[in-house]
Each structure stands twice: as structure tokens, then as C-alpha cells.
Amino acid sequence: MSAWRCALVALFISVSLPASAILGGLPDGDAPDSPERRVDPDGCESPWAGVVSVLIGNGVFSGVVVGDRWVLTAGHVAAGRRLSPGDVRVRVPCGPLTAGVLEVVPHPGFAGYKSDRINLDDLALLRLREPLPEAVPRYPLFDRPPARGIVLTLVGYGGGGNPRDGVTVGARADTKRVGENVLDDWVSRPGQGPAAYVWDFDGPDPASSLLGGPSLGNRREATVASGDSGSPAFVRDGEHWSLVGINTFQIQLPAKPPKISVPPPHFGSGGGGMLIAPYAAWIRGVIDAAR
């Protein structure tokens, strides 16, 4: 990693916020966008029918099916319900059906969300009371380090909006949105390999591209915002969609000359989450141990 990127990471970990909604482009951009255009069909016909809403109290979050009775989400979403898993429900769009949670299994390294850093190990598995119907997709794990520059497809149940006005439509358990961004860089654990990924939210002005690379375009580029932590990031892997990460944070990025950029979820901000590859053995071990 270059000296500039090292300095960048040191700066943006001090302004990390929980992640969430899929927020797209401007309504009056070159290719006009809207929150409604980002909505995915909420049923079995969608390739994202295994992306689920996680319901805790009045909160709506996201997760993804990784086994017959297992959903993966962010640790900061569900870890606090480890002793009361009955407080957590999962709404599965393919049906639809609402599933009860028998067990919450946070990653053992997750010690709670802190806003002054990118929180590694921010993952939790939800064990459902009953197996899911066969029609619900179970997504394979992308268990090798992804390359910088790959396109991520972000799918979640948070609110919608645009980069000028922020979130304008609240999160709903039955409204799933889809967008894309590019994996711009990794965050590594000291002495080890990459554990998290980051992107920037590029607008039409090149000055908003703080991690490099052009925008994917007003109708494709997206980021996360408050309301949807635990949403999955997918990559196309041959003929299949594979789970490459779980979105867990949004960040302010240092601009040039050095200063803190606009707050998320506006153009020039960023986001990211936990890579699946370094956690794949833990995910499979928890699932296998419960069989």
C-alpha cells in the first residue's frame, strides 16, 4: 500500500459509522436515477431472493442466506441479542415468510462497534428455528482474496435517496434495493492479510473520486447509508453470484488538499465492510458444528 493510502486509512478510521441503505444517483443526472428505480422484486424470481431483512424491535437491517438454517449479518446488528435470540426475526422475501432465530453467534473477535476505527470481525451468524424452503438461494462464499477494482453488487433493505439530499425514503422490511460500486482498497489486520474492503462514492465531478477510478455512472454507482447494516456485497464468479463481503460501515474520506470530505452518504464519502475470505473458515465451522 502506498504512503498516501496508508495515511488515508489512518484518517478515515476516525470517522467510521455503521453502514446501511443502498443509496444511488441523482434524480437529474445524465441518466436520471431514483430510489424507486433501485428497488428489486421482492420474491422468488429475483437473484437476490436470499437477501433477507433482519428485524430487531423497530429496526430494519439486512442479512444473507448462507445455509439451510443460517443467515450472515453484521456483528453490531445482532451481537447484543446473543442472550435473547427470540428478539430477532428474519423476513425472507421468497414466500414471503418470517423466520424465528434460535441462536445468535457473533464472531469471537467482535467486541462492539467503536466509531473511531474500522471495526474488524464485525460479523454474526443467525441460526434459524426451521430450515428455509429449497427455493431460497444459498449463496456460495467467495473464499479467496478479491482483486482491487472488481465491481461489487450491493443489495440491502435500508432506505433510499440521492447524493445531494441524503436518505429520503426510510428503511422497509419489504423493500430491497440494489446498486454497485468498485472495491477500491483493502484494510489489513497488522501482520496479516486483508480483512475489510473500502470504496468511494464517485460522482460526475472527478474531485469526488478520492480513492481513484471513475464513477460507474449515475444509474449504477451506489453506497450505503444509515438503516441497512449487514447487507451483502456480491461478485460474479463464473456462472454464479458469490458472497464477497458484508457491508458494515460508512466513512468520511480525506480530500485533497488534506481535509475531511463531506459526510456520508454524499458524493466523495465512502463505505465498505468485512471480506468473506478471511472469515470463511469460521462461518463454515459454526455451521458444520451445529449439524
For the segment 19-44, the average pLDDT, to the nearest whole number, is 82
Share of the chain above pLDDT 90, in %: 67
Q: Which CATH number do you get for residue 233? A: 2.40.10.10
Band (pLDDT 50/70/90 cuts) for residue 227 is low
What is the pLDDT averaged over residues 136-156?
95
Judged against a pLDDT cut of 50, whether residue 90 lies above it is answered with yes
Would the pLDDT of 124 be above 90?
A: yes
* pLDDT tens by residue, 199-225: 999 999 888 899 988 899 999 999 987
The answer, yes or no, to whether residue 1 has pLDDT greater than 70, is: no
Taking 80 as the threshold, does the pLDDT of residue 2 lie above it?
no
Total domains present in the chain: 2
Residue 169 and residue 147 share a domain: yes
Q: Are 42 and 174 in contact (CB under 8 A)?
A: yes
Same domain, 169 and 257: yes
To the nearest whole number, what is the mean pLDDT of the chain?
89
Residue 106 covered by a domain:
yes
- Residue 45 inside a domain? The answer is no
Q: What is the domain range of residue 83?
A: 51-138+281-289
* Eight-state DSSP code of residue 212: S
Residues 61 and 194 in one domain: no
Q: For residues 178 and 225, state if they share a domain.
A: yes
pLDDT, average across residues 72-84: 97
Mark 169-207 as b/e (b = at least 16 C-beta within 10 Å). Answer: bebbbebbbbbbbbbbbbbeeeeeebbbbbbbbbbbeee
Say yes or no: 236 and 109 in one domain: no
Of 4-8, 109-113, 191-195, the one with minimum mean pLDDT is 4-8
Q: What is the pLDDT of residues 262-280, one digit of tens each?
A: 888 899 999 999 999 999 9
Same domain, 122 and 185: no
Give the per-residue pLDDT at 241: 96
Tell me the pLDDT band of 20, cut-offs 50, 70 and 90.
Answer: very low
The C-alpha cell at 12 is 478515515
282 or 214, greater pLDDT? 282
The reply to whether 97 and 230 lie within a common domain is no
What is the reported pLDDT for 12? 41
In a domain, 46, yes or no: no
155 and 60 within one domain: no
Same domain, 266 and 160: yes
**Cα separations in angstroms, 131 against 67, 70, 99, 103, 250:** 9, 8, 9, 13, 33
Dist CA 21 CA 159 (whole Å) = 5
Same domain, 130 and 144: no
Report the predicted TM-score, pTM, of the whole model to 2 decimal places. 0.92
Which grid cell sits at 4? 498516501
* The pLDDT value given to residue 17: 56
On whether residue 101 sits in a domain, the answer given is: yes
